[in-house]
């Protein structure tokens, strides 16, 4: 049950004034969309949110807009091929979902504007010069501030008061998550909790065995970082945590919806809708360099009561009162 809407810190006032006047250029515009996930009901929901917002702003497929969608661009093994396919259609703009696609596009020299969505550290990753003044041809919507790492640790402590160890499932090569990991480690250290990174660099990595080995040491919980690889492998991660009867905190609602214990983060569909606003503004003539990078300002806590029951856990009443959604 939904109990509070997720709100984003968007420059909504000027966006709401955008209308079909922006879309009066006689030439249909072509936008390539590099989706991080493979095609699924969830990824289709995200894409639908962007399409709906574009239509509200006067950019309608079949009239003045063409969308070319390329799936699975979060997989390091296929991202370069997906980027090449997107560029082959000669788009006026590219929407890049996630860091792998954004990174691949940044390395290429070309004039095509890029709007990214779901990127954790665009400045540290070198995609933009600053959040306020991106410069260049890339801008968009980021995800988490570093402090979110501390919040995730706090949530795990709330559900597991005797917690001594946390296994952090993350890609060790992704620099944008270093600050989040450090924030989590600081919060954990204050409570005498040790964080152990559990490397996950490929969707086919043996994460099941790593989680089982970590859980066997006892008094542990799992913290799953917001990488594309983890999202792709989420079913295996969720099953491994449940098999080990270990509490786990996830960054996106999709994990809790698929059987994970709890998630704290933003709704991807909302971020895609926000990204559509920048697509409309750039197609209408504004420059990415002048559009500040924006981020979610509020997040949702989702608790899965069935998942808690399966591992013999009861959520504290204080946490139940904070939840935006309970899955029963």
Strand partners, 66: 30
pLDDT of residue 26: 67
pLDDT tens over the chain, length 328 residues: 444 443 344 444 444 444 444 444 568 999 999 998 788 888 899 999 999 999 999 999 999 999 999 998 988 788 999 999 999 999 999 999 998 899 999 999 789 999 999 888 899 889 999 999 999 999 999 987 788 999 999 999 999 999 999 999 998 877 778 889 999 999 999 999 999 999 988 888 999 999 999 999 998 999 999 887 898 899 999 999 999 999 999 999 889 999 999 999 988 899 999 999 999 999 999 999 999 999 887 799 999 999 999 999 999 999 999 999 999 9
**Domains of the chain, first to last:** 12-143+266-290 (3.40.50.2300), 148-265+300-327 (3.40.50.2300)
pLDDT of residue 204: 87
Tell me if 8 sits within 8 A of 274, measured CB to CB.
Answer: yes
Closest to 274 (Cα-Cα) out of 52, 44, 111, 24: 52
For residue 53, count other CB atoms closer than 10 A to its CB.
21
How far, in whole angstroms, is CA 215 from its chain's centroid? Answer: 26
Coil vs helix vs strand at 183 = helix
Tell me if 85 sits within 8 A of 34, measured CB to CB.
Answer: no
Write out the two tokens for 218. 């006892």
CA distances in angstroms from 143 to 42, 50, 177, 240, listed in the order given = 18, 17, 11, 26
pLDDT of residue 172: 82
b (16+ CB within 10 A) / e for 5-26:
ebebebeeeebeebeeebbeee
pLDDT of residue 175: 73
Coil vs helix vs strand at 48 = helix
pLDDT of residue 41: 85
> Judging by DSSP bridges, how do beta strands 138-142 and 114-119 pair with one another?
parallel
């Amino acid at each position: 049950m939904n109990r509070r809407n997720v709100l984003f810190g968007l420059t909504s006032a000027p966006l709401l004034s955008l209308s079909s006047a922006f879309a009066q250029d006689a030439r249909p515009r072509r936008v390539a969309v590099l989706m991080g996930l493979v095609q699924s009901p969830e990824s289709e929901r995200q894409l639908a949110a962007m399409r709906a917002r574009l239509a509200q702003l006067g950019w309608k497929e079949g009239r003045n807009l063409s969308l070319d969608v390329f799936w699975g661009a979060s997989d390091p093994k296929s991202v370069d091929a997906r980027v090449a396919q997107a560029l082959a259609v000669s788009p006026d703009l590219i929407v890049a979902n996630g860091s792998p696609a954004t990174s691949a596009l940044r390395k290429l020299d070309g004039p095509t504007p890029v709007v990214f969505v779901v990127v954790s550290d665009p400045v540290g990753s070198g995609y933009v010069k600053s959040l306020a003044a991106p410069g260049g041809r890339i801008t968009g919507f980021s995800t988490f501030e570093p402090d979110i790492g501390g919040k995730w640790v706090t949530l795990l402590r709330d559900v597991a008061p005797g917690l001594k160890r946390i296994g952090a499932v993350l890609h060790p090569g992704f620099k944008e998550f270093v600050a989040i990991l450090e924030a989590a480690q600081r919060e954990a250290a204050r409570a005498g909790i040790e964080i152990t990174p559990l490397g996950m660099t490929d969707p086919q990595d043996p994460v099941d065995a790593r989680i089982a080995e970590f859980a066997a040491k006892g008094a542990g919980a799992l913290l799953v970082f917001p990488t594309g690889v983890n999202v792709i492998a989420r079913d295996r991660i969720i099953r491994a945590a449940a098999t080990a009867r270990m509490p786990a905190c996830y960054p996106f609602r999709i994990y809790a919806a698929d059987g994970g214990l709890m998630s704290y983060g933003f709704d991807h569909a909302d971020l895609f809708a926000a990204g559509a606003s920048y697509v409309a503004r750039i197609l209408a003539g504004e420059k990415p360099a002048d559009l500040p990078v924006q981020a979610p300002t509020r997040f949702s806590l989702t608790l899965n009561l069935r998942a808690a029951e399966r591992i013999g856990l009861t959520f504290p009443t204080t946490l139940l009162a904070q939840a935006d959604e309970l899955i029963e």
